[in-house]
Amino acid sequence: MNQNSHFLVYEIQESLPTRFLIFNICLISLTLESDIITRTNSKSSMQAKHKIPFNRPFIAGKELYYIAQTVTFGNMAGDGHFTKSCCELMENRFEVPRVMMTPSCTAALEMCAMLCDLKPGDEVIMPSYTFVSTANAVVLRGARPVFVDIRRDTLNIDEDLIEAAITPNTKAIFPVHYGGVSCEMDTIMTIADKHGLIVAEDAAQGVNSFYKNRALGSIGHLGCYSFHETKNYISGEGGAICINDNQFLDRAEIIRDKGTNRKRFLRGQVDKYSWVDIGSSYVTSEIVSAFLYGQLEQLEEIRLRRKANFNHYHRALKGLEEEGLLRRPIVPDGCESNYHMYYILLPNQGIRDGLMRHLNHHGIMAVFHYVPLHSSPMGLKMGNAEADLPVTEELAVCLLRLPLYFEITDDEQDIVIQAVSSYLMSRSTTTHKVKKAIRI
Ligand SMILES: Cc1ncc(COP(=O)(O)O)c(C=O)c1O
Protein backbone atom coordinates (compact mmCIF):
# COMPACT_ATOMS: atom_id res chain seq x y z
CA MET A 1 0.00 0.00 0.00
CA ASN A 2 1.52 3.38 -0.88
CA GLN A 3 1.13 6.62 1.04
CA ASN A 4 -1.90 7.53 -1.09
CA SER A 5 -3.92 5.11 0.93
CA HIS A 6 -3.46 6.65 4.34
CA PHE A 7 -7.07 7.77 4.33
CA LEU A 8 -7.87 4.12 5.07
CA VAL A 9 -6.80 4.48 8.67
CA TYR A 10 -9.05 7.41 9.58
CA GLU A 11 -11.26 6.72 12.49
CA ILE A 12 -14.68 6.04 11.09
CA GLN A 13 -17.62 6.99 13.25
CA GLU A 14 -20.34 6.87 10.64
CA SER A 15 -23.63 5.14 10.07
CA LEU A 16 -23.69 1.62 8.61
CA PRO A 17 -24.36 2.73 5.01
CA THR A 18 -21.44 5.19 5.23
CA ARG A 19 -19.14 2.47 6.55
CA PHE A 20 -20.23 0.20 3.72
CA LEU A 21 -19.55 2.94 1.19
CA ILE A 22 -16.18 3.77 2.65
CA PHE A 23 -15.29 0.07 2.70
CA ASN A 24 -16.12 -0.06 -1.01
CA ILE A 25 -14.06 3.00 -1.72
CA CYS A 26 -11.12 1.40 0.06
CA LEU A 27 -11.48 -1.64 -2.17
CA ILE A 28 -11.69 0.56 -5.26
CA SER A 29 -8.63 2.45 -4.10
CA LEU A 30 -6.63 -0.76 -3.71
CA THR A 31 -7.76 -1.89 -7.16
CA LEU A 32 -6.73 1.47 -8.57
CA GLU A 33 -3.33 1.17 -6.97
CA SER A 34 -2.68 -2.20 -8.51
CA ASP A 35 -3.96 -0.78 -11.79
CA ILE A 36 -1.44 2.06 -11.49
CA ILE A 37 1.33 -0.48 -10.84
CA THR A 38 0.22 -2.51 -13.88
CA ARG A 39 0.15 0.60 -16.03
CA THR A 40 3.54 1.70 -14.75
CA ASN A 41 4.98 -1.66 -15.76
CA SER A 42 3.31 -1.59 -19.16
CA LYS A 43 5.74 -0.48 -21.86
CA SER A 44 2.97 1.14 -23.87
CA SER A 45 1.81 3.60 -21.20
CA MET A 46 2.81 7.28 -21.01
CA GLN A 47 4.04 6.56 -17.50
CA ALA A 48 6.45 3.96 -18.88
CA LYS A 49 7.60 6.26 -21.66
CA HIS A 50 8.28 8.99 -19.15
CA LYS A 51 9.74 7.44 -16.03
CA ILE A 52 9.54 10.92 -14.60
CA PRO A 53 6.28 12.55 -15.72
CA PHE A 54 5.83 16.30 -15.83
CA ASN A 55 2.97 16.16 -13.35
CA ARG A 56 1.35 13.52 -11.18
CA PRO A 57 -2.02 13.97 -9.46
CA PHE A 58 -1.88 13.15 -5.76
CA ILE A 59 -3.88 12.59 -2.62
CA ALA A 60 -2.83 14.59 0.43
CA GLY A 61 -5.46 13.77 3.02
CA LYS A 62 -9.10 12.76 3.25
CA GLU A 63 -10.17 13.46 -0.35
CA LEU A 64 -11.72 10.05 -1.09
CA TYR A 65 -13.30 9.78 2.33
CA TYR A 66 -15.00 13.13 1.79
CA ILE A 67 -16.29 12.03 -1.63
CA ALA A 68 -17.94 9.07 0.09
CA GLN A 69 -19.55 11.48 2.51
CA THR A 70 -21.18 13.50 -0.30
CA VAL A 71 -23.18 10.39 -1.15
CA THR A 72 -24.23 9.69 2.42
CA PHE A 73 -24.99 13.35 3.09
CA GLY A 74 -27.41 13.03 0.15
CA ASN A 75 -26.06 16.07 -1.70
CA MET A 76 -23.91 15.49 -4.75
CA ALA A 77 -25.02 18.54 -6.75
CA GLY A 78 -23.74 22.03 -6.05
CA ASP A 79 -23.35 24.38 -3.09
CA GLY A 80 -23.62 21.78 -0.34
CA HIS A 81 -21.48 21.14 2.73
CA PHE A 82 -18.11 20.73 0.97
CA THR A 83 -18.52 23.65 -1.43
CA LYS A 84 -19.31 25.88 1.56
CA SER A 85 -16.34 24.44 3.48
CA CYS A 86 -13.95 25.15 0.58
CA CYS A 87 -15.24 28.72 0.23
CA GLU A 88 -15.01 29.44 3.96
CA LEU A 89 -11.52 28.01 4.18
CA MET A 90 -10.29 30.19 1.31
CA GLU A 91 -12.15 33.27 2.55
CA ASN A 92 -10.43 32.92 5.92
CA ARG A 93 -6.95 31.96 4.77
CA PHE A 94 -6.76 34.38 1.83
CA GLU A 95 -8.84 37.19 3.36
CA VAL A 96 -11.21 37.26 0.41
CA PRO A 97 -14.65 38.74 1.21
CA ARG A 98 -16.43 36.12 -0.88
CA VAL A 99 -15.26 33.04 -2.78
CA MET A 100 -17.56 31.11 -5.13
CA MET A 101 -16.55 27.73 -6.51
CA THR A 102 -16.67 27.31 -10.29
CA PRO A 103 -16.10 24.30 -12.56
CA SER A 104 -12.75 25.75 -13.72
CA CYS A 105 -10.65 28.90 -13.78
CA THR A 106 -11.83 29.29 -17.37
CA ALA A 107 -15.41 29.53 -16.06
CA ALA A 108 -14.32 32.03 -13.39
CA LEU A 109 -12.67 34.19 -16.06
CA GLU A 110 -15.84 34.03 -18.17
CA MET A 111 -17.78 35.22 -15.13
CA CYS A 112 -15.32 38.11 -14.74
CA ALA A 113 -15.86 39.13 -18.36
CA MET A 114 -19.64 39.16 -17.78
CA LEU A 115 -19.25 41.09 -14.51
CA CYS A 116 -17.14 43.68 -16.36
CA ASP A 117 -20.11 43.97 -18.71
CA LEU A 118 -17.81 43.63 -21.71
CA LYS A 119 -19.37 44.41 -25.08
CA PRO A 120 -18.16 44.53 -28.70
CA GLY A 121 -15.69 47.38 -29.04
CA ASP A 122 -14.44 47.11 -25.44
CA GLU A 123 -10.79 46.31 -24.76
CA VAL A 124 -9.09 44.37 -21.97
CA ILE A 125 -5.37 44.65 -21.28
CA MET A 126 -3.50 41.40 -20.57
CA PRO A 127 -0.20 39.69 -21.37
CA SER A 128 0.10 37.68 -24.57
CA TYR A 129 2.13 35.17 -22.57
CA THR A 130 -0.81 33.43 -20.93
CA PHE A 131 -3.23 30.54 -21.28
CA VAL A 132 -5.98 30.90 -23.90
CA SER A 133 -8.71 31.15 -21.25
CA THR A 134 -7.62 34.66 -20.21
CA ALA A 135 -8.27 35.93 -23.73
CA ASN A 136 -11.17 33.63 -24.65
CA ALA A 137 -13.28 34.99 -21.79
CA VAL A 138 -12.98 38.46 -23.35
CA VAL A 139 -13.48 37.33 -26.94
CA LEU A 140 -16.63 35.39 -25.98
CA ARG A 141 -18.22 38.72 -24.99
CA GLY A 142 -17.27 40.23 -28.38
CA ALA A 143 -14.56 42.39 -26.79
CA ARG A 144 -10.87 42.55 -27.75
CA PRO A 145 -7.79 41.49 -25.78
CA VAL A 146 -4.99 44.05 -26.00
CA PHE A 147 -1.66 42.39 -25.41
CA VAL A 148 1.14 44.04 -23.44
CA ASP A 149 4.72 42.79 -23.17
CA ILE A 150 6.12 40.99 -20.11
CA ARG A 151 8.91 41.62 -17.60
CA ARG A 152 12.18 39.75 -18.01
CA ASP A 153 12.41 38.70 -14.36
CA THR A 154 8.95 37.23 -13.67
CA LEU A 155 7.48 36.90 -17.18
CA ASN A 156 4.47 38.78 -15.81
CA ILE A 157 2.81 41.73 -17.56
CA ASP A 158 5.14 44.74 -17.58
CA GLU A 159 3.26 47.24 -15.43
CA ASP A 160 5.27 50.12 -16.92
CA LEU A 161 3.78 49.45 -20.37
CA ILE A 162 0.14 49.26 -19.31
CA GLU A 163 -0.75 52.96 -19.38
CA ALA A 164 0.40 53.36 -22.98
CA ALA A 165 -2.05 50.62 -23.99
CA ILE A 166 -5.10 52.29 -22.42
CA THR A 167 -7.62 53.81 -24.85
CA PRO A 168 -11.15 55.21 -24.34
CA ASN A 169 -12.36 51.63 -25.03
CA THR A 170 -10.37 50.01 -22.23
CA LYS A 171 -12.64 48.48 -19.60
CA ALA A 172 -10.39 46.20 -17.58
CA ILE A 173 -6.94 44.76 -16.88
CA PHE A 174 -6.52 40.98 -16.52
CA PRO A 175 -3.04 40.49 -14.97
CA VAL A 176 -1.76 36.90 -14.91
CA HIS A 177 0.49 35.72 -12.05
CA TYR A 178 2.86 33.48 -13.96
CA GLY A 179 4.09 30.40 -12.09
CA GLY A 180 2.49 31.63 -8.86
CA VAL A 181 4.71 34.74 -8.64
CA SER A 182 2.82 37.99 -8.31
CA CYS A 183 2.53 40.81 -10.83
CA GLU A 184 3.43 44.28 -9.52
CA MET A 185 -0.07 44.75 -8.11
CA ASP A 186 0.39 48.12 -6.37
CA THR A 187 1.25 49.80 -9.68
CA ILE A 188 -1.50 47.95 -11.55
CA MET A 189 -4.16 48.94 -8.99
CA THR A 190 -2.99 52.58 -9.04
CA ILE A 191 -3.27 52.69 -12.84
CA ALA A 192 -6.69 51.01 -12.70
CA ASP A 193 -7.96 53.52 -10.11
CA LYS A 194 -6.67 56.45 -12.11
CA HIS A 195 -8.45 55.29 -15.29
CA GLY A 196 -11.55 53.75 -13.70
CA LEU A 197 -10.72 50.20 -14.84
CA ILE A 198 -11.70 46.87 -13.30
CA VAL A 199 -8.87 44.49 -12.36
CA ALA A 200 -9.57 40.75 -12.55
CA GLU A 201 -6.54 38.72 -11.46
CA ASP A 202 -5.89 35.50 -13.34
CA ALA A 203 -4.43 33.67 -10.34
CA ALA A 204 -4.97 30.23 -11.92
CA GLN A 205 -1.44 29.31 -10.84
CA GLY A 206 -1.36 31.57 -7.78
CA VAL A 207 -3.45 29.83 -5.12
CA ASN A 208 -1.74 30.39 -1.75
CA SER A 209 0.82 32.85 -3.17
CA PHE A 210 1.20 36.31 -1.67
CA TYR A 211 2.13 39.86 -2.69
CA LYS A 212 3.16 42.08 0.21
CA ASN A 213 1.34 39.67 2.54
CA ARG A 214 -1.88 39.79 0.49
CA ALA A 215 -3.08 36.59 -1.17
CA LEU A 216 -3.11 36.59 -4.95
CA GLY A 217 -6.71 36.70 -6.14
CA SER A 218 -7.66 38.99 -3.24
CA ILE A 219 -6.08 42.20 -4.54
CA GLY A 220 -7.98 43.09 -7.72
CA HIS A 221 -11.74 43.74 -7.80
CA LEU A 222 -12.07 40.11 -8.90
CA GLY A 223 -9.76 37.09 -8.85
CA CYS A 224 -9.73 33.60 -10.38
CA TYR A 225 -8.23 30.31 -9.16
CA SER A 226 -7.68 26.96 -10.87
CA PHE A 227 -7.76 23.51 -9.26
CA HIS A 228 -6.96 21.64 -12.46
CA GLU A 229 -4.92 18.51 -11.80
CA THR A 230 -1.74 20.29 -12.93
CA LYS A 231 -2.06 22.96 -10.23
CA ASN A 232 -0.90 22.95 -6.59
CA TYR A 233 -4.31 22.15 -5.08
CA ILE A 234 -6.32 19.87 -7.30
CA SER A 235 -9.79 18.49 -7.89
CA GLY A 236 -9.35 17.17 -11.46
CA GLU A 237 -11.04 20.18 -13.02
CA GLY A 238 -12.11 23.02 -10.77
CA GLY A 239 -11.87 26.70 -10.05
CA ALA A 240 -13.11 29.62 -8.00
CA ILE A 241 -13.91 33.29 -8.37
CA CYS A 242 -12.97 35.77 -5.64
CA ILE A 243 -15.39 38.66 -5.29
CA ASN A 244 -13.34 41.36 -3.60
CA ASP A 245 -15.65 44.27 -4.40
CA ASN A 246 -19.20 44.10 -3.11
CA GLN A 247 -20.64 45.80 -6.18
CA PHE A 248 -20.20 42.48 -8.06
CA LEU A 249 -21.69 40.19 -5.44
CA ASP A 250 -25.38 39.97 -6.39
CA ARG A 251 -24.71 39.73 -10.10
CA ALA A 252 -22.01 37.08 -9.59
CA GLU A 253 -24.52 34.87 -7.77
CA ILE A 254 -26.99 35.27 -10.62
CA ILE A 255 -24.50 34.72 -13.47
CA ARG A 256 -23.17 31.62 -11.71
CA ASP A 257 -26.68 30.19 -11.39
CA LYS A 258 -27.80 30.27 -15.05
CA GLY A 259 -28.85 33.91 -14.92
CA THR A 260 -31.48 33.24 -12.26
CA ASN A 261 -32.08 34.75 -8.82
CA ARG A 262 -32.36 31.28 -7.31
CA LYS A 263 -29.97 32.11 -4.44
CA ARG A 264 -32.25 34.96 -3.34
CA PHE A 265 -35.17 32.56 -3.48
CA LEU A 266 -33.31 30.02 -1.34
CA ARG A 267 -32.63 32.76 1.23
CA GLY A 268 -36.34 33.63 1.23
CA GLN A 269 -35.71 37.08 -0.27
CA VAL A 270 -38.10 36.47 -3.20
CA ASP A 271 -41.10 34.10 -3.34
CA LYS A 272 -40.14 32.52 -6.66
CA TYR A 273 -37.05 32.55 -8.81
CA SER A 274 -36.75 33.39 -12.46
CA TRP A 275 -34.45 34.34 -15.31
CA VAL A 276 -33.13 37.85 -14.58
CA ASP A 277 -29.76 38.22 -16.40
CA ILE A 278 -27.29 36.40 -18.63
CA GLY A 279 -25.54 33.49 -16.97
CA SER A 280 -24.45 29.90 -17.28
CA SER A 281 -23.97 26.74 -15.27
CA TYR A 282 -20.94 27.72 -13.21
CA VAL A 283 -21.70 25.73 -10.06
CA THR A 284 -19.29 22.99 -8.94
CA SER A 285 -20.38 19.44 -8.13
CA GLU A 286 -20.09 18.51 -4.45
CA ILE A 287 -17.94 15.54 -5.47
CA VAL A 288 -15.34 17.93 -6.86
CA SER A 289 -15.54 20.22 -3.82
CA ALA A 290 -15.22 17.23 -1.48
CA PHE A 291 -11.96 16.21 -3.14
CA LEU A 292 -10.71 19.79 -3.10
CA TYR A 293 -11.55 20.25 0.57
CA GLY A 294 -9.31 17.27 1.40
CA GLN A 295 -6.50 19.13 -0.39
CA LEU A 296 -7.20 22.57 1.05
CA GLU A 297 -7.04 21.14 4.57
CA GLN A 298 -3.38 20.39 3.73
CA LEU A 299 -2.74 23.90 2.36
CA GLU A 300 0.56 24.49 4.15
CA GLU A 301 1.85 20.93 3.97
CA ILE A 302 1.45 20.97 0.19
CA ARG A 303 3.12 24.37 -0.14
CA LEU A 304 6.07 23.34 2.02
CA ARG A 305 6.60 20.13 0.11
CA ARG A 306 6.60 22.01 -3.20
CA LYS A 307 8.95 24.59 -1.70
CA ALA A 308 11.42 21.84 -0.80
CA ASN A 309 11.15 20.40 -4.33
CA PHE A 310 11.57 23.84 -5.91
CA ASN A 311 14.60 24.63 -3.74
CA HIS A 312 16.19 21.28 -4.59
CA TYR A 313 16.28 22.29 -8.28
CA HIS A 314 17.17 25.87 -7.42
CA ARG A 315 20.25 24.95 -5.39
CA ALA A 316 21.43 22.31 -7.84
CA LEU A 317 21.13 24.52 -10.93
CA LYS A 318 22.89 27.54 -9.41
CA GLY A 319 26.25 26.48 -10.87
CA LEU A 320 24.84 26.23 -14.41
CA GLU A 321 23.39 29.71 -14.03
CA GLU A 322 26.77 31.03 -12.88
CA GLU A 323 28.30 29.38 -15.95
CA GLY A 324 25.80 31.34 -18.02
CA LEU A 325 24.16 28.18 -19.37
CA LEU A 326 20.66 28.83 -18.08
CA ARG A 327 18.63 31.26 -16.02
CA ARG A 328 16.64 30.20 -12.97
CA PRO A 329 13.24 31.66 -11.89
CA ILE A 330 13.32 34.99 -10.05
CA VAL A 331 10.97 35.84 -7.17
CA PRO A 332 11.04 39.61 -6.50
CA ASP A 333 11.11 41.01 -2.96
CA GLY A 334 7.65 41.17 -1.44
CA CYS A 335 6.40 38.17 -3.41
CA GLU A 336 5.85 34.86 -1.66
CA SER A 337 5.53 32.06 -4.18
CA ASN A 338 3.44 28.90 -3.92
CA TYR A 339 6.20 27.12 -5.89
CA HIS A 340 3.82 26.18 -8.64
CA MET A 341 6.42 25.69 -11.33
CA TYR A 342 10.14 25.26 -11.90
CA TYR A 343 11.19 26.62 -15.27
CA ILE A 344 14.57 27.36 -16.75
CA LEU A 345 15.41 29.81 -19.52
CA LEU A 346 17.91 28.57 -22.10
CA PRO A 347 20.06 30.77 -24.35
CA ASN A 348 17.94 30.16 -27.46
CA GLN A 349 15.21 27.99 -28.95
CA GLY A 350 17.66 25.52 -30.49
CA ILE A 351 19.18 24.67 -27.11
CA ARG A 352 15.76 24.63 -25.44
CA ASP A 353 14.35 22.19 -28.01
CA GLY A 354 17.53 20.08 -27.96
CA LEU A 355 17.42 19.81 -24.16
CA MET A 356 13.71 18.95 -24.24
CA ARG A 357 14.42 16.11 -26.71
CA HIS A 358 17.38 14.95 -24.62
CA LEU A 359 15.27 14.79 -21.45
CA ASN A 360 12.45 13.07 -23.30
CA HIS A 361 14.90 10.50 -24.62
CA HIS A 362 15.93 9.80 -21.01
CA GLY A 363 12.36 9.29 -19.86
CA ILE A 364 11.92 12.77 -18.39
CA MET A 365 8.92 14.80 -19.45
CA ALA A 366 9.89 18.47 -19.61
CA VAL A 367 7.61 20.84 -21.50
CA PHE A 368 7.63 24.33 -22.97
CA HIS A 369 4.78 26.67 -22.17
CA TYR A 370 2.50 29.15 -23.92
CA VAL A 371 2.71 29.97 -27.57
CA PRO A 372 2.18 33.74 -27.19
CA LEU A 373 -1.45 34.46 -27.97
CA HIS A 374 -0.78 37.38 -30.32
CA SER A 375 1.14 35.01 -32.61
CA SER A 376 -1.31 32.09 -32.41
CA PRO A 377 -3.67 31.41 -35.35
CA MET A 378 -6.62 32.90 -33.45
CA GLY A 379 -4.57 35.89 -32.26
CA LEU A 380 -3.45 36.61 -35.80
CA LYS A 381 -7.03 36.35 -37.06
CA MET A 382 -7.98 38.98 -34.51
CA GLY A 383 -5.51 41.45 -35.98
CA ASN A 384 -2.74 41.22 -33.43
CA ALA A 385 0.00 40.55 -35.97
CA GLU A 386 1.44 44.02 -35.48
CA ALA A 387 1.74 43.64 -31.69
CA ASP A 388 5.20 44.73 -30.56
CA LEU A 389 6.14 42.30 -27.79
CA PRO A 390 9.88 41.65 -28.04
CA VAL A 391 10.41 40.21 -24.55
CA THR A 392 7.45 37.84 -24.91
CA GLU A 393 8.73 36.60 -28.26
CA GLU A 394 12.28 36.21 -27.02
CA LEU A 395 11.57 34.38 -23.77
CA ALA A 396 8.66 32.15 -24.87
CA VAL A 397 10.93 30.09 -27.11
CA CYS A 398 13.66 29.75 -24.44
CA LEU A 399 11.53 28.48 -21.56
CA LEU A 400 11.42 24.87 -20.40
CA ARG A 401 9.42 23.57 -17.43
CA LEU A 402 10.94 20.71 -15.40
CA PRO A 403 8.88 18.00 -13.65
CA LEU A 404 7.55 19.30 -10.32
CA TYR A 405 4.81 17.65 -8.34
CA PHE A 406 3.87 16.94 -4.74
CA GLU A 407 5.33 13.43 -4.65
CA ILE A 408 8.46 13.93 -6.74
CA THR A 409 11.41 12.37 -4.92
CA ASP A 410 14.94 13.71 -4.43
CA ASP A 411 16.20 10.81 -6.54
CA GLU A 412 13.86 11.72 -9.41
CA GLN A 413 14.93 15.36 -9.21
CA ASP A 414 18.58 14.31 -9.19
CA ILE A 415 18.03 12.35 -12.41
CA VAL A 416 16.52 15.46 -14.01
CA ILE A 417 19.34 17.69 -12.73
CA GLN A 418 21.98 15.26 -13.98
CA ALA A 419 20.36 15.08 -17.43
CA VAL A 420 20.08 18.88 -17.70
CA SER A 421 23.69 19.36 -16.56
CA SER A 422 25.19 16.74 -18.83
CA TYR A 423 23.40 18.13 -21.89
CA LEU A 424 24.31 21.75 -21.24
CA MET A 425 27.90 21.01 -20.17
CA SER A 426 28.49 18.94 -23.30
CA ARG A 427 27.42 21.92 -25.38
CA SER A 428 28.93 24.64 -23.25
CA THR A 429 31.96 25.27 -25.44
CA THR A 430 29.82 25.83 -28.52
CA THR A 431 26.93 27.53 -26.74
CA HIS A 432 26.30 31.23 -26.60
CA LYS A 433 26.22 31.96 -22.92
CA VAL A 434 22.79 32.73 -21.54
CA LYS A 435 23.87 35.96 -19.85
CA LYS A 436 24.49 37.35 -23.30
CA ALA A 437 21.38 35.88 -24.84
CA ILE A 438 18.90 36.46 -22.02
CA ARG A 439 19.31 39.83 -20.42
CA ILE A 440 18.01 39.95 -16.88
C1 LIG B 1 -2.87 31.47 -16.51
C2 LIG B 1 -4.01 30.49 -16.64
N3 LIG B 1 -5.26 30.95 -16.74
C4 LIG B 1 -6.32 30.11 -16.84
C5 LIG B 1 -6.14 28.75 -16.88
C6 LIG B 1 -7.34 27.85 -17.02
O7 LIG B 1 -7.54 27.09 -15.86
P8 LIG B 1 -8.63 25.90 -15.88
O9 LIG B 1 -7.96 24.72 -16.50
O10 LIG B 1 -8.96 25.68 -14.44
O11 LIG B 1 -9.79 26.37 -16.65
C12 LIG B 1 -4.86 28.23 -16.79
C13 LIG B 1 -4.64 26.78 -16.85
O14 LIG B 1 -3.58 26.26 -16.90
C15 LIG B 1 -3.76 29.12 -16.66
O16 LIG B 1 -2.50 28.67 -16.58
Distance 72 CA to ligand 1 centre (A): 32
Q: Each residue of 159-188: pLDDT tens digit?
A: 999 999 999 999 999 999 999 999 999 999
34 pLDDT above the threshold of 70: no
Check whether domain 299-437 has CATH 3.90.180.10, yes or no: no
Output the average pLDDT for the chain.
Answer: 89
What is the number of the ligand 1 atom nearest to the C-alpha of 231? Answer: 14
Pocket test for ligand 1, best of 155, 228, 284, 370 (most atoms within 8 A of CB): 228
Distance 322 CA to ligand 1 centre (A): 33
Pocket test for ligand 1, best of 157, 205, 241, 288 (most atoms within 8 A of CB): 205
What was the pLDDT predicted at 382? 79
Angle at 229 between CA 223 and CA 233, to 5 degrees: 55
What is the number of the ligand 1 atom nearest to the C-alpha of 133? Answer: 4
What is the number of the ligand 1 atom nearest to the C-alpha of 109? Answer: 4
What single letter denotes the amino acid at residue 142?
G
| 81-296 fold | Aspartate Aminotransferase; domain 2 (3.40.640)
Q: Yes or no: say if 102 and 48 are a contact pair by the CB < 8 Å rule.
A: no
Q: Each residue of 263-294: pLDDT tens digit?
A: 999 999 999 999 999 999 999 999 999 999 99
Tally of CA atoms within 13 A in the half-sphere of 395 that contains its CB? 25
Q: 141-150, 173-182, 208-217, 375-384: which has the minimum mean pLDDT? A: 375-384
Pocket lined around ligand 1, Cβ cut-off 6 Å: 104-106, 130-131, 133-134, 176, 202, 204-205, 226, 228, 239
**Region 114-134: what's the mean pLDDT?**
97
pTM above 0.75, yes or no: yes
Q: Yes or no: say if 128 and 155 are a contact pair by the CB < 8 Å rule.
A: no
Q: Each residue of 388-412: pLDDT tens digit?
A: 899 999 999 999 999 999 999 999 9
Distance 104 CA to ligand 1 centre (A): 8
- Distance CA(367)–CA(405), nearest Å, equals 14
- Distance CA(63)–CA(58), nearest Å, equals 10
Long-range contacts at 411-416 (CB < 8 A, ≥ 24 apart) = 412/52, 413/309, 413/312, 413/313, 413/316, 414/316, 415/51, 415/52, 415/362, 415/364, 416/52, 416/313, 416/359, 416/364, 416/366
What was the pLDDT predicted at 430? 55
Distance 108 CA to ligand 1 centre (A): 10
What was the pLDDT predicted at 13? 46
What single letter denotes the amino acid at residue 428?
S
What DSSP letter does each residue of 318-382 carry, written as one string?
HHHHHTTS-B-----TTEE-----EEEE-SSHHHHHHHHHHHHHTTB--B--PPPGGGSHHHHHT
Distance 238 CA to ligand 1 centre (A): 10
What single letter denotes the amino acid at residue 201?
E
SS3 content of the chain, % helix, strand, coil (to 5): 45, 15, 40
385 pLDDT above the threshold of 60: yes
Q: Each residue of 49-101: pLDDT tens digit?
A: 679 999 999 999 999 999 999 999 888 999 999 999 999 999 999 999 999 99
Distance 311 CA to ligand 1 centre (A): 24
Q: List the domain boundaries for the chain.
A: 3-49, 81-296, 299-437
Minimal-distance CA residue to ligand 1 atom 7:
105
Q: Yes or no: say if 200 and 172 are a contact pair by the CB < 8 Å rule.
A: yes
**In which element (H, E) is residue 194 found?**
helix 185-195
Distance 133 CA to ligand 1 centre (A): 6
